[in-house]
């Protein structure tokens, strides 16, 4: 054994476990004295390695001086890749973790690993393995291990001035021992053409013939580029693919590896064998991939290979592209890659949203500009695969155009699908994403923006110099103020907030007013009427002509529903360790929520010729308070939305589901759509809720002008019509309960009402009995409904008093009477 080395051999034996068993800690181990050199090492190898180590040490110093130790870290990663049999990304993580544990910088640790690796003989076993597996007889016995050869190649590559030297060094140090006879290094152009940058073993004539491969010509290298993966040909001729050197080695095998860093493919490493190639052991393939990655680093450093260098914080060319995009008549985003510490592409930064940008979720341009793509549009990572496509375009440079691509945007946590024509292309290190939403989907999107408007958002504008404040939308209502009262200035905001949130507001104001930056904060608003609302405020400063702060624009949004969703999630998580007290607290929350959303008193409703009454009775057992809801609201069209629903289950989850569905329906109804269409949308809302709730509902739109009620039902008991001394339930229209299927259609029916007619909508708390079929319970309900009553209110009281339910469920009844 060669003494101290980094823990390895078994990739499954992760570092956390190893830390306990291997003592001293791995970081310390690799810095152990270098005198544990195996005695058998030949003087020749020793000398070469010593020189390598010396040069690497020099590189450490140089790299440190440049505060940019990438090359060395890559070397160390290569060692870890080979030792742990893992991929480059995992190696990067291991390196970071080891450095943390050892209290060293990654650079210092990388240097230690390389020093240590250069002095142990462990890789000779790997050498044996490779020799037998590949079936070649490489260098004679005293040769250095594969690992050392690879590292020698690596360091040579790094020190080589140009790609041609890199190719020669790769072939000599790393590839000939594997039996390869030639190597080519291609770079990709912006138009996905391929240029031969370096070659060894093919001869100058062949290289001259293949110096350039235009876009669209399928060669071995292009297969790897387009496929973004390593491609192996047992025999090039048998595969029927043209490539450099085919005439000389027609039956020879090829391995073609895309060479990329940070999610972008800079080139392709093509390795040529003289004879047909058997499948390579996995370890060898990994080594080749590590070499390709190394190549990529040298390629991206070459000015002709890539217009932008690494890393790309500003995104070269992004500003020109932003200007260009402003000239487009379709919405467009300019994206630049966002890399993690290990240099892996994890996301894209939205550098610019163009002038015609329209957020599918209805947000202002400023809230998207500068954000990370996945943060602004989490749904792009989902089934729409948009993120994958962008990633692919960025990697390969091959543009993507498609018509009618399904896009998903989250509107108030609800995924909204739309169809759009998409164009994605790469310019320099930026990606331009252009889309055109189809008319129908645009219509739906604007509908949902209405819904969002009803999601209690109110904009404001405050002239901080003159002190004028303009409030739009529902801000007075949100603040619990009368429209005649003075709007609240930003500096007075803390007086309207919970004392515990004063700090949050102070920091928010500091950022907007002093630092003049866009800021956002969430706080609890304490209204004078005693109601607490959870509010998010976002504000953007605008400077005057003198460069001083002139106005602040922004919006307040009531996020109480979202807040309660978070409460629900926390409650679910806590359930495992819940104490009795916590359970009581949750039940109290649920009940409060019910009351906050639906006061058990009659809502004021200004509908001519229609009398409305409601009764809502929560379950007696607090833990059973569930998701029953009702809504009666006059729409802008003067028609009246009438609805009763029931979310399955009980407790916080059901109640928050109820809040979402009730608000969604209210918003959607403003669009003027019919009840069938509304339920169809509501079904999609329910289906996409994270909690996967199901619910039943009956929804009616009453037109006072024509006294007609259009209605539809989703798995809910149909309404009851009381006319004179008759009471009958309306037909069981086709309509599945909400949330069970991704898409559902709802049958609609129209009913012309006469003066004196009463329509009752109710939840099954009113009728559900264990010992009686629903049919019989409804019959009993109809009997009660037939009894004469002097007012609508009395009728509902009678129904509630005589209700036959025995399941201690929520009960909710809405009655409307035409006067």
Partner 1 sequence: MFEREANLEVDVEIRDDLTAVLTVGGELDMETAAGLEDRLSEQFGQGRRRLVLDLSALDFMDSSGLNVLIRAVNRVRESGGDLYLAAPTPAVRRILEITGVTMTIPPYDGVADALAAAVAAG
* Secondary structure class of 744 (helix, strand, coil): coil
- The Cα 626–Cα 658 span in angstroms is 9
Burial class from Cβ neighbours inside 10 Å (0-12, 13-18, 19+) for residue 551 reads middle
Nearer to partner 1, 343 or 645 (CB): 645
Sheet with 811-818, side-by-side order of all strands:
610-617, 811-818, 758-762, 720-723, 726-729
Q: Which of residues 725-764 bind partner 1 (CB under 8 A)?
A: 732, 734-737, 740-741
Nearer to partner 1, 253 or 735 (CB): 735
**Is 685 among the residues that bind partner 1 (CB under 8 A)?**
no
Nearer to partner 1, 149 or 650 (CB): 650
| Beta-strand relationship, 194-200 and 180-188 | antiparallel
Identify the residue among 774, 783, 787, 791 touching partner 1 (CB under 8 A): 774
Identify the residue among 598, 717, 730, 781 touching partner 1 (CB under 8 A): 717
Nearer to partner 1, 120 or 768 (CB): 768
Q: CB of residue 718 vs partner 1: minimum separation in angstroms?
A: 8
Identify the residue among 456, 533, 650, 795 touching partner 1 (CB under 8 A): 650
Piece of 58-66, 200-208, 529-537, 765-773 that binds partner 1 (CB under 8 A):
765-773
Identify the residue among 204, 483, 775, 788 touching partner 1 (CB under 8 A): 775
- The Cα 812–Cα 646 span in angstroms is 9
* Secondary structure class of 66 (helix, strand, coil): coil
Is residue 321 a contact partner of residue 181, using CB atoms and an 8 Å limit?
no
Piece of 161-169, 271-279, 431-439, 715-723 that binds partner 1 (CB under 8 A):
715-723
Q: Which two tokens stand for residue 801?
A: 């008093």
Q: CB of residue 694 vs partner 1: minimum separation in angstroms?
A: 6
Give the gyration radius of the chain's Cα atoms.
35
Nearer to partner 1, 447 or 717 (CB): 717
Nearer to partner 1, 116 or 811 (CB): 811
**Is 806 among the residues that bind partner 1 (CB under 8 A)?**
yes
Instruction: Return the ∠ at Cα 794 (arms to 788 and 798), rounded to 5°.
Output: 75
Q: Which of residues 444-463 bind partner 1 (CB under 8 A)?
A: none
User: Which DSSP state fits 742?
Assistant: S
Q: CB of residue 697 vs partner 1: minimum separation in angstroms?
A: 11
**Is 690 among the residues that bind partner 1 (CB under 8 A)?**
no
Q: CB of residue 659 vs partner 1: minimum separation in angstroms?
A: 18
* Secondary structure class of 243 (helix, strand, coil): coil
Q: CB of residue 568 vs partner 1: minimum separation in angstroms?
A: 17
Identify the residue among 431, 714, 760, 785 touching partner 1 (CB under 8 A): 714
Q: CB of residue 409 vs partner 1: minimum separation in angstroms?
A: 24
Instruction: Give the bridge partners for 543, in sequence order.
Output: 549
Identify the residue among 363, 534, 586, 716 touching partner 1 (CB under 8 A): 716
- The Cα 699–Cα 718 span in angstroms is 10
CA–CA distance from 34 to each of 12, 30, 38, 50, 224 (Å)?
28, 9, 11, 11, 41
Is residue 275 a contact partner of residue 220, using CB atoms and an 8 Å limit?
no
Q: CB of residue 411 vs partner 1: minimum separation in angstroms?
A: 24
Piece of 32-40, 213-221, 471-479, 766-774 that binds partner 1 (CB under 8 A):
766-774
Piece of 262-270, 360-368, 373-381, 805-813 that binds partner 1 (CB under 8 A):
805-813
CA–CA distance from 759 to each of 720, 776, 804 (Å)?
6, 20, 20
Is residue 58 a contact partner of residue 51, using CB atoms and an 8 Å limit?
no
Identify the residue among 439, 580, 620, 743 touching partner 1 (CB under 8 A): 620
Q: CB of residue 579 vs partner 1: minimum separation in angstroms?
A: 21
Proportion of the chain in helix, strand, coil states, percent, rounded to 5: 40, 25, 35
**Is 584 among the residues that bind partner 1 (CB under 8 A)?**
no
Q: CB of residue 666 vs partner 1: minimum separation in angstroms?
A: 23
Nearer to partner 1, 546 or 771 (CB): 771
Identify the residue among 20, 39, 466, 773 touching partner 1 (CB under 8 A): 773
3-state secondary structure 520-548: EEEEEEECCCCCEEEEEEEEEEEECCCCC
- The Cα 618–Cα 621 span in angstroms is 8
Q: CB of residue 3 vs partner 1: minimum separation in angstroms?
A: 48
Q: CB of residue 423 vs partner 1: minimum separation in angstroms?
A: 33
**Is 649 among the residues that bind partner 1 (CB under 8 A)?**
yes
Of the candidates 640, 701, 705, 645, the one whose C-alpha atom is nearest the C-alpha of residue 676 is: 701
Helix spans in 432-480 (H)? 439-453, 475-479
Is residue 80 a contact partner of residue 113, using CB atoms and an 8 Å limit?
yes
CA–CA distance from 107 to each of 14, 50, 287, 340 (Å)?
21, 20, 22, 17
**Is 378 among the residues that bind partner 1 (CB under 8 A)?**
no
Nearer to partner 1, 345 or 740 (CB): 740
Piece of 29-37, 165-173, 517-525, 644-652 that binds partner 1 (CB under 8 A):
644-652
Nearer to partner 1, 30 or 766 (CB): 766
Identify the residue among 132, 621, 690, 779 touching partner 1 (CB under 8 A): 621
Is residue 212 a contact partner of residue 188, using CB atoms and an 8 Å limit?
no
* Secondary structure class of 40 (helix, strand, coil): coil
Piece of 22-30, 137-145, 360-368, 645-653 that binds partner 1 (CB under 8 A):
645-653
Identify the residue among 105, 692, 779, 787 touching partner 1 (CB under 8 A): 692
Q: Which of residues 168-187 bind partner 1 (CB under 8 A)?
A: none
CA–CA distance from 130 to each of 126, 133, 280, 287, 414 (Å)?
6, 5, 9, 11, 54
**Is 699 among the residues that bind partner 1 (CB under 8 A)?**
no
Nearer to partner 1, 620 or 790 (CB): 620
**Is 50 among the residues that bind partner 1 (CB under 8 A)?**
no
Instruction: Give the bridge partners for 534, in sequence order.
Output: 524
Strands (E), 262-399: 264-273, 332-339, 345-353
* Secondary structure class of 661 (helix, strand, coil): helix
**Is 571 among the residues that bind partner 1 (CB under 8 A)?**
no
**Is 570 among the residues that bind partner 1 (CB under 8 A)?**
no
- The Cα 738–Cα 580 span in angstroms is 33
Burial class from Cβ neighbours inside 10 Å (0-12, 13-18, 19+) for residue 459 reads middle
Nearer to partner 1, 132 or 692 (CB): 692
Binding-residue total with partner 1 (CB under 8 A): 28
Q: Which two tokens stand for residue 85?
A: 């049999």
Q: CB of residue 42 vs partner 1: minimum separation in angstroms?
A: 59
Q: Which of residues 489-518 bind partner 1 (CB under 8 A)?
A: none
Of the candidates 22, 35, 48, 264, the one whose C-alpha atom is nearest the C-alpha of residue 139 is: 48
Instruction: Return the ∠ at Cα 352 (arms to 346 and 357), rounded to 5°.
Output: 115
**Is 715 among the residues that bind partner 1 (CB under 8 A)?**
yes
Q: CB of residue 781 vs partner 1: minimum separation in angstroms?
A: 14
Nearest 5°: phi and psi at 652? -60, -40
Half-sphere exposure of 609 (CA within 13 A, CB side): 14
**Is 646 among the residues that bind partner 1 (CB under 8 A)?**
yes
Nearer to partner 1, 656 or 696 (CB): 696
Nearer to partner 1, 233 or 746 (CB): 746
- Where do contacts with partner 1 occur on this chain (CB under 8 A)? 620-621, 646, 648-650, 692, 694, 696, 714-717, 732, 734-737, 740-741, 768, 770, 773-775, 806-808
């Amino acid at each position: 054994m060669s003494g101290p080395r980094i823990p390895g051999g078994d990739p499954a034996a992760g570092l956390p476990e190893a830390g306990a068993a291997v003592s001293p800690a791995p970081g310390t181990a690799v810095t152990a004295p270098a005198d544990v050199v195996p005695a058998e090492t030949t003087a020749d190898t020793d000398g070469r390695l010593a020189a390598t180590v010396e040069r690497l040490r020099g590189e450490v110093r140089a790299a440190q001086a440049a505060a940019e130790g990438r090359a060395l870290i890559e070397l160390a990663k290569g060692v870890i890749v080979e030792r742990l049999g893992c991929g480059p990304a995992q190696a990067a993580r291991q390196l970071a973790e080891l450095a943390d544990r050892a209290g060293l910088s990654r650079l210092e640790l990388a240097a230690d690993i390389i020093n240590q690796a250069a002095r142990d003989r462990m890789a000779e076993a790997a050498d044996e393995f490779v020799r037998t597996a590949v079936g070649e007889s490489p260098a004679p016995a005293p040769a250095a291990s594969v690992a050392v050869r690879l590292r020698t190649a690596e360091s040579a590559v790094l020190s080589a001035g140009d790609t041609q030297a890199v190719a020669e060094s790769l072939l000599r140090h790393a590839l000939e021992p594997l039996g390869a006879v030639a190597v080519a290094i291609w770079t990709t152009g912006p138009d996905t053409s391929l240029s031969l940058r370096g070659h060894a073993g093919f001869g100058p004539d062949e290289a001259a013939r293949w110096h350039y491969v235009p876009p669209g010509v399928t060669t071995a290298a292009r297969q790897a580029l387009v496929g973004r993966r390593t491609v192996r040909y047992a025999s090039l001729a048998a595969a029927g693919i043209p490539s450099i050197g085919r005439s000389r080695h027609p039956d020879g095998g090829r391995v073609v590896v895309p060479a990329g860093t940070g999610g972008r493919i800079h080139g392709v490493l093509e390795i040529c064998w003289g004879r047909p190639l058997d499948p390579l052991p996995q370890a060898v393939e990994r080594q080749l991939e590590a070499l390709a990655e190394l190549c990529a680093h040298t390629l991206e450093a070459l000015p002709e290979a890539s217009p932008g260098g690494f890393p790309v914080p500003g995104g070269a060319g992004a500003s020109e592209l932003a200007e260009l995009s402003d000239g487009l008549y379709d919405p467009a985003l300019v994206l630049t890659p966002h890399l993690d510490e290990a240099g892996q592409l994890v996301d894209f930064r939205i550098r610019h949203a163009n002038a015609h940008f329209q957020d599918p979720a209805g947000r202002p341009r400023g809230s998207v500009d500068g954000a990370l793509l996945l943060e602004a549009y989490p749904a792009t990572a989902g089934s729409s695969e948009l993120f994958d496509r962008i990633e692919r375009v960025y990697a390969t440079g091959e543009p993507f155009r498609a018509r009618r691509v399904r896009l998903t945007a989250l509107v108030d946590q609800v995924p909204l699908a739309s169809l759009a024509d998409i164009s994605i292309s790469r310019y320099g290190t930026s990606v331009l994403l252009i889309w055109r939403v189809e008319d129908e989907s645009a219509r739906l999107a604007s509908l949902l923006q209405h819904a969002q408007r009803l999601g209690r958002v109110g904009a404001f504008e405050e002239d901080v110099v003159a002190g004028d404040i303009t409030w739009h939308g529902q801000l007075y209502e949100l603040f619990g103020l009368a429209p005649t009262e003075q709007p609240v200035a930003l500096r007075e905001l803390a007086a309207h907030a919970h004392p515990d949130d004063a700090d949050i507001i102070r920091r928010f104001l500091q950022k907007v007013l002093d630092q003049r930056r866009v800021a956002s904060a969430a706080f609890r608003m304490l209204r004078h009427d005693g109601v607490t609302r959870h509010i998010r405020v976002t504000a953007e400063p605008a400077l005057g002509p003198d460069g001083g702060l002139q106005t602040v624009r922004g919006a307040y949004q009531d996020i109480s529903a979202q807040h309660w969703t978070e409460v629900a999630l926390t409650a679910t998580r806590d359930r495992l360790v819940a104490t009795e007290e916590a359970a009581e607290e949750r039940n109290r929350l649920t009940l409060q929520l019910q009351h906050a959303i639906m006061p058990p008193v009659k809502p004021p409703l200004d509908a001519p010729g229609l009398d409305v009454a409601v009764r809502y009775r929560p379950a007696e057992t607090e833990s059973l308070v569930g998701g029953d809801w009702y809504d009666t609201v006059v729409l802008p069209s003067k028609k009246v939305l009438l609805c009763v629903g029931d979310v399955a289950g009980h407790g916080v989850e059901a109640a928050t589901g109820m809040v979402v569905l009730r608000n969604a329906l209210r918003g959607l109804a403003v669009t003027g759509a019919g009840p069938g269409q509304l339920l169809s949308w509501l079904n999609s809302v329910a289906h996409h809720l994270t909690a996967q709730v199901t619910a039943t509902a009956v929804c009616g739109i009453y037109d006072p002008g024509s006294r007609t009620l259009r209605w539809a039902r989703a798995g809910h008991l149909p309404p009851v019509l009381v006319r004179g001394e008759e009471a009958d339930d309306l037909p069981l229209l086709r309509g599945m309960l909400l949330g069970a299927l991704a898409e559902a259609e709802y049958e609609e029916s129209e009913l012309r009402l006469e003066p004196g007619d009463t329509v009752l909508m109710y939840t099954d708390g009113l009728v559900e009995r264990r010992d009686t079929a629903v049919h019989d319970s409804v019959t009993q309900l109809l009997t009660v409904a037939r009894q004469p009553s002097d007012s609508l209110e009395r009728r509902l009281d009678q129904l509630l008093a005589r209700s036959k339910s025995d399941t201690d469920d929520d009960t909710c009844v809405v009655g409307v009477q035409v006067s």
